[in-house]
Structure 1
């Protein structure tokens, strides 16, 4: 009987001992959880994606030349920041030169029926690293590959065809003096022809791209490129 009566007593003493050890562990766990919650709250990032204003400009240095670029003009999000960059790719609505709105959504089912809008002038700005300047290329490189047949200027715009089996085969060179315009354009084929026009500003080369059909009003195109250049450069001291 003594052995049997002592067993419940030892069980009660063991339970008391176990509860005595469990309470400090529980308190320690609660303290640790509270500390972790506080640390997580302090370290959790509080920033949110910045909503750019339509009138805001990002100062971007390309080839040590400063440009002030509207944030919504960037074609690549990774380039949408201020500071030095090797190159940027931009686009603007033509002829207003406003920054584009939301891109048009095209699905696999509607891609054949949805015409692409021809209302963008594309601009790439890149550090030139002392490569051949556009005006030097016009004087020394292009003449080697032009067809000797000369065409009469049309509304002040002269057209020169590049010969076949040359680096510029299938392209034409458009030149005007007032306002100044030099554009190298592919010819219309399965896809509409496209033009590129280059100019050098400081340590950067600006390359404009636009549809060849716009040259029907070439003075407006030349003026738009000049205005856009001035807007991006801003007031110069």
Structure 2
């Protein structure tokens, strides 16, 4: 009994002797891990807007620098070559509009735009007839002979009924240059389309016909947008 007691008495300290260093080591390791995790934990907040402010895009081999938030269709919001890019800007400020609420980001905005918005589409023309040549050689074939000129220098000629442009009017001015094809006001407000070419791309502007009461300002806005969108050349 004495021998057993002696042996048990000797073993107990040995067990505690092994346990205490292990427990102490675990505690130290846990403390070290906690300190390291605290030091390495990120203190920055992720940027909610990962898109750059402007996108370099190539349309018809022509470089444009477009505001990301002005792109109306989500799948077009990327840099590089594209066949077409659709944009929208507030008028007359030409600032980028805020994203529409409760609207699908994958679809264009409504067909009839707000009165304070001008749209521009960049599209590759693939050597089709230039807009200025079309205005000089194609449109006159379908125009009525009569014309009317306003005091502000804007000339209006109606397209013949039954022609490819029936129900529209052609409005032209020399200085500043303006050529616009406009639908007439009906149940919905009339809209105008004005085109211009920059190298391999055509720029198509769309705006309410009512703006032609100040057509010089509209012509200036289209010039400014053309210059702002154009990349290094």
Shorter-chain TM-score range? 0.7 to 0.9
In the other structure, the counterpart of 1:123 is 120
> Structure 1 stretch 142-151 or stretch 97-106: which is displaced more?
97-106
Tell me which of 105, 128, 148 is aligned to 1:151.
Answer: 148
SS at match of 2:148: coil
TM-score, normalised via structure 1 length: 0.72
Tell me which of 82, 106, 119 is aligned to 2:79.
Answer: 82
Tell me which of 88, 91, 94 is aligned to 1:94.
Answer: 91
Question: Is 1:51 matched up with 2:50?
Answer: yes
Question: Is 1:161 matched up with 2:184?
Answer: no
Following superposition, which runs of at least 4 residues in structure 1 exceed 3 angstroms of deviation?
A: 47-53
Distance 1:52 1:117, change over 3 A: same
**Within-5 A mapping of 1:3-152:** 50-52=49-51, 56-105=53-102, 117-152=114-149
Question: Is 1:228 matched up with 2:225?
Answer: yes
In the other structure, the counterpart of 2:191 is 194
SS at match of 1:205: strand
- Find the aligned partners of 2:172 and 2:78 in 1 and give their Cα distance: 36
Question: Is 1:218 matched up with 2:194?
Answer: no
- Find the aligned partners of 1:89 and 1:153 in 2 and give their Cα distance: 32
Contact 2:56 / 2:231 at 8 angstroms: preserved in 1? no
- Find the aligned partners of 2:172 and 2:115 in 1 and give their Cα distance: 23
- Find the aligned partners of 2:175 and 2:192 in 1 and give their Cα distance: 19
Tell me which of 170, 180, 183 is aligned to 2:180.
Answer: 183
Spell out, residue by residue over 1:49-87, the C-alpha distance to the aligned partner (whole angstroms, 9 max, x if none): 74346xx22100000000000000000010001000011
**Unaligned runs of at least 5 residues, structure 1:** 1-46, 107-114
TM-score, normalised via structure 2 length: 0.73
**Unaligned runs of at least 5 residues, structure 2:** 1-45, 104-111
- Find the aligned partners of 1:116 and 1:142 in 2 and give their Cα distance: 26
- Find the aligned partners of 1:105 and 1:156 in 2 and give their Cα distance: 43
